Amino acid sequence: MQDENSLVLKPEHSKPKTLESKNIESRKERDKTEEKETKSLSGASSNQTNVPECKMIPITDKYQVQKPSNVAVPRKCPPLSAPLLSERPLVLATHLVPSLPISFFEVLVEAIEVATGKPVVLLHESRSDRPVAKDVADIAILPASEKWEDGKLLSASFCFEHYLNKSNSPCIYADVVVAADRASHVEDITDLRGYRCSLPDRKKNIGAATLLFNYLHTKGESPAFFGNILDADTQIATLQMVAGKQADIGILESPVIKCHKNTLPGIDSLHILTSLGPLPPYRIMTNRAFSVSLRRKITIYLLKINQHKEWVDRFAPFGLTGFTTNFEQLYKQPGGVKSVVTSVPYY
């Protein structure tokens, strides 16, 4: 170290040793001041990373939008199930299509075939006012707001990826989406007064619309807060209305955005303002007459499905991280669904 210091401090002309010692002391003082300045700069940079609570974030990556569309037939994964097709099949009916794509439930059906060793027939009902097919369905996938009198809740439900879901909860969050041309004028939900708003489930006591109105109520606002409310039949219809300029804003369940953000036309022009929630989980139910043994096999297999890389890869495009325990208490929230405004998710 002495040789290095002597090389650094060596002047062009020789100087007395007293001057060299003074130079060393001044060098030490200068190093201390530089360290203080570095710490202050690092502290300033860390403060700058604290983004505002309602900072706009685009739904799609701008670099992904530039990619050319791939019109080729997508490669299909080899089947993981080999059920006995000669047996009577189980019937799974989902009431979440088209908001969640049918391809998502095709993967779920195959997982149930592996768990039970039985073939499973997939049915879907896109009309929100239709009950579960009586004496037909063995398994039903329903929104949290719907019930099945002949069904029993399975002790497992979906766990979707979301910035706020830090505890692997089956509960669902709702995202407030805004058109890009409105983004520069909006910083908070309370800035949306007079705008056209699309709501997917206004008539239901549990849903994204309830979360939004509960939040506005905490701010002393009424449903007349918006200039015009457009009712949508499905969650994805709300997303389409905002993307198609029929509405300025909308609120819908976050898994719907995750499933369609790379396929829905015009979605690249949308931003997420904030998130509300949580909502109770989607219901996975079995018929009360369903085999107890098969019910147990399905529950155990779904809860451990994230231990199998094949299933993790198959469910990943839909934002599903796995399955987690579900129970009736999550649907019995005192005083209705509580709404908590939160920071913007990761999309």
Per-residue pLDDT of the chain (347 residues; tens, 9 = 90+): 444 444 333 334 444 444 445 455 555 554 544 444 333 333 333 333 223 355 566 676 654 444 545 556 766 777 777 787 888 999 999 999 999 999 999 999 999 999 999 999 999 999 988 999 999 999 999 999 999 999 999 999 999 999 999 999 999 999 999 988 876 778 889 999 999 999 998 888 899 999 999 999 999 998 899 999 999 999 999 999 999 999 999 999 999 999 998 888 888 889 999 999 999 999 999 999 999 999 999 999 999 999 999 999 999 999 999 999 999 999 986 544 544 444 443 33
Give a yes or no: residue 66 inside a domain: no
Is 325 within 8 Å of 155 (Cβ atoms)? yes
Give yes or no: residues 261 and 284 share one domain.
no
Residue of 60, 53, 58, 345 lying closest to 189 (CA atoms): 53
DSSP-derived letter for residue 77 is P
The secondary element (H helix, E strand) that includes residue 286 is: strand 283-287
Which structure tokens are listed for 120?
A: 């499973």
Angle between helical axes of 102-116 and 292-303 (0-180°, round to 10): 120
Give yes or no: residues 192 and 258 share one domain.
yes
Is 322 within 8 Å of 159 (Cβ atoms)? yes
Cβ-proximal residues to 257 (8 Å cutoff; 6+ apart), any chain: 59, 175, 177, 239, 272, 347
Give yes or no: residues 298 and 221 share one domain.
no
Is 195 within 8 Å of 221 (Cβ atoms)? no
Cα–Cα distances in angstroms (integers) from residue 49 to residues 6, 165, 345, in the given order = 42, 21, 16
Question: What local confidence, expressed as pLDDT, does residue 181 receive?
Answer: 82
Which structure tokens are listed for 186?
A: 């909006």
Question: What local confidence, expressed as pLDDT, does residue 14 receive?
Answer: 42
Give the amino acid at 54: C
Question: What local confidence, expressed as pLDDT, does residue 27 receive?
Answer: 54
Give the amino acid at 310: E
Question: What local confidence, expressed as pLDDT, does residue 334 receive?
Answer: 53
Residue of 157, 172, 257, 248 lying closest to 207 (CA atoms): 172
Is 250 within 8 Å of 241 (Cβ atoms)? yes
Give yes or no: residues 253 and 326 share one domain.
no
Give yes or no: residues 255 and 227 share one domain.
yes
Give a yes or no: residue 125 inside a domain: yes
**First and final C-alpha spacing in the chain:** 51
Give yes or no: residues 206 and 148 share one domain.
no
Give yes or no: residues 208 and 189 share one domain.
yes
Question: What local confidence, expressed as pLDDT, does residue 342 receive?
Answer: 46
Give yes or no: residues 186 and 326 share one domain.
no
Phi and psi torsions of 77, nearest 5°: -75, 145
- Identify whether 278 is preceded by a cis peptide bond (ω within 30 of 0): yes
Question: What local confidence, expressed as pLDDT, does residue 43 receive?
Answer: 37
Give yes or no: residues 158 and 291 share one domain.
yes
Give a yes or no: residue 302 inside a domain: yes
Question: What local confidence, expressed as pLDDT, does residue 100 receive?
Answer: 97
Give yes or no: residues 184 and 157 share one domain.
no
What is the chain's Cα-based Rg?
A: 28
Domain extent, residue 94, equals 90-163+280-331
The number of domains in the chain is 2
Give a yes or no: residue 103 inside a domain: yes
The secondary element (H helix, E strand) that includes residue 217 is: helix 208-218
Give a yes or no: residue 54 inside a domain: no
The b-or-e profile of 199-208 (16+ CB within 10 A means b, else e) is bbbbeeebbb
Question: What local confidence, expressed as pLDDT, does residue 157 receive?
Answer: 98
